[in-house]
Structure 1
Amino acid sequence: MGPNSRRDFTIAIICALPLEADAVEALFDETYDRLSRLYGRESGDTNAYVNGRIGGHNVVLCYMPGTGKSSAASVAARLRASYTSIQLALVVGTCGGTPYGPYSTQIFLGDVIISDAVIEYDFGKQYPGGFHRTTGVSNSLGPPNQEIRSLLAGLRAKRALQEFQGEMLQQLFTIQHSELQWRRPDFVDDVLFKASYHHRHYVPPSSPKCRCFNEALKM
């Protein structure tokens, strides 16, 4: 049995891409509502929601209409209007723009990245020689609250991190055996290219596969 109202939801997860939201929803232990048929939403709120439970937490999953700061800001504002009890909001995605971590540690496909700050990638100054992005943490949108910072600090401890990784592997094992789309692709389809490789255009335009994929199979 689900919560009585939207006020009972304290965690929000925001995804920019449907594929990302599908992966999050695969972790739901129970789904309460889809597209606000049961819980509704405030007047003027055009967000698309899926309500459910992960463990002992009531979670509202929010779909973004597209990527970008303006889209994220409007989605977050409407989310706060409809779900006034949200205490933790997570932006979950594929993290495609993160090639390296601290100390130049390379990040590989499948790694889990947890950010402790939000920095505007297009915030900076225009100089005669070009645009220079401001990267200092002091220029970020502010740190998380004290409770979240304490949690992140705790996860940096060796034993806590090992336990956390074990729980993630268990969840990954569960969803990989529940739906075929979350399993690792066969080695024939799992084609990797060097970061410096110049990819060609997609054919047809709506296809998710690059022309390089077919060429790699011929090699």
Structure 2
Amino acid sequence: MAMAMVAHKSSLGLSVSLWAWICPLEVEQMAAMEMLDEHHSSSSIQQSSGDHNVYKLGSINGHNIVIAGLHLPGNCSAAAVVAQMTMTFPNIRCGVLVGIGGGVPVTTDKGMIRLRHVVASKPTGKHSGAVQYDHGKSIAGHFERTGALPYPPTILLNAAQALEVERARAVDDPVWLNIQRIDTEHPQFRRFRFPGAAKDHLYRPEYRRQRPGLSCESFVVVHRGIIASGELVVKDAELRDCLAEQDGLLCFEMEAAGALSGFPCLVIRGISDYCDSHKNDEWQGYAAAAAAAYARQLFYHISRNWPSGGGSS
């Protein structure tokens, strides 16, 4: 058992860098914990009085990780978690926001986005990698989006590019191998099982569910591009397509705008639904696992000595 990491400002000081890993939902937090190489004690954290977060500490490939969840989904909750986290851990440079999202079934250079795939934020065209699609003003009946979200950290964009090259050359997909870290035979982890490609149903945008409720396994497809963030839960395929067409959106989620307001991060989302009326929880576990597995692999493309001179770019 490795010696417990005492990760707070009084013992580590500002010379030791930490990585933030934010995962809003319980299923996402479980997947994140299974991706750690080592688990460290959090009993010695000297938490700021204004910090109400609960942290899990560990490491991946020698990088110290601070995992935090949200008590409620949404951009406001994400912003609060980030603000409190940086009070207790001022040496956090940047991080990852990892979880599930609703995919837009468009075609990228990796093929059509489907359930079980992963989308990672990447600057494209005029956008930084994420947009707040519900932030703007109405002018003569037309909604005009205002403001821009910060770019992801260059170090993480470079790691994502290096990982893409590694996976293109690999016989065995390292991201898929990371998913296998989760023992789905254990009762509490059965939710992370792969549901099967036969259960990936993509319907025409105009089709509505009438009665609510009613080999690709060994390679994880990762798309990189623009992720949309907002407070609205999109469950309408026509609205999804209308919003996505304007800016080339690949995925919808609810926390990126809030997290990015406090610190630079890369947004990673496993696709668990298509933002349509058929939205359900069947794919949530596997999608969370796929996103966490991708995030884990990024830390194998970042020097353990980074940063030597500070900064998040």
Q: Common fold, TM-score beyond 0.5?
A: yes
Match of 2:6 in 1: 4
**Larger RCO: Structure 1 or Structure 2 (Cα < 8 Å, ≥ 6 residues apart)?**
2
Q: CA deviation at 1:98?
A: 4.2
Q: Normalising by structure 1, what TM-score? A: 0.73
Match of 2:22 among 14, 18, 22: 14
Contact 1:11 1:60 in 2 (8 A): yes
1:142 aligns with 2:142: no
1:46 deviates by 0.8
Q: CA deviation at 1:67?
A: 2.0
1:130, distance to aligned residue in structure 2 (A): 4.3
Q: Matches of 1:171 and 1:104 in 2, distance apart?
A: 20
Q: Structure 1 pair 191/152, CA: closer, same or farther in 2 (3 Å)?
A: closer
> In 2 relative to 1, CA 16–5 (structure 1 residues): closer, same or farther, beyond 3 Å?
closer
Identify which of 29, 53, 67 aligns with 2:37.
29
Matches within 5 A, 1:31-110: 31-33=39-41, 36-100=42-106, 102=108, 105-110=111-116
Deviation at 1:31, TM superposition (A): 2.1
Structure 1 residue 202: Cα displacement = 5.8
Structure 1 residues 153-168: aligned runs within 5 Å? 153-157=161-165, 159=166, 161-163=168-170, 166-168=173-175
**Are 1:120 and 2:132 matched, yes or no?**
yes
Change (3 A) 1:65 1:153: same
Closer, same or farther: CA 31–164 of 1 in aligned 2, 3 Å: farther
Q: Which structure 1 residue ranges, 5 or more long, are not aligned?
A: 204-211, 214-219
Alignment-mate amino acid for residue 89 of structure 1 = G
State whether structure 2 residue 179 is matched by structure 1 residue 172.
yes
Displacement after TM superposition at 1:160 (Å):
5.1
Cα deviation code 1:105-125 (max 9, x no counterpart):
421111122112222121233
C-alpha distance in structure 1 between counterparts of 2:171 and 2:52, whole Å: 35
Give the greater-gyration-radius structure (CA). Answer: 1
Distance in 1 between residues matched to 2:190 and 2:46, nearest whole Å: 32
Residue identity opposite 1:4 in structure 2? V
Q: Deviations over 1:32-56 (max 9, x none)?
A: 23xx533241111011211122232
Query: How high is the TM-score relative to the length of structure 2?
Result: 0.54
Which amino acid in structure 2 is aligned with residue 16 of structure 1? Answer: P
- The equivalent of 1:216 in structure 2 is none
Q: 1:183 aligns to what?
A: 193
In the TM superposition, residue 64 of structure 1 has moved relative to its aligned partner by 1.1
After superposition, the Cα gap between the structure-2 partners of 1:195 and 1:49, relative to the gap in structure 1 and judged at 3 Å, is farther
Report the structure, 1 or 2, having the larger strand content.
2
Superposition RMSD on alpha carbons, in Å? 3.2
Q: Is the 8 A contact 2:136 2:143 kept in 1?
A: yes
3-state DSSP of counterpart to 1:110: coil
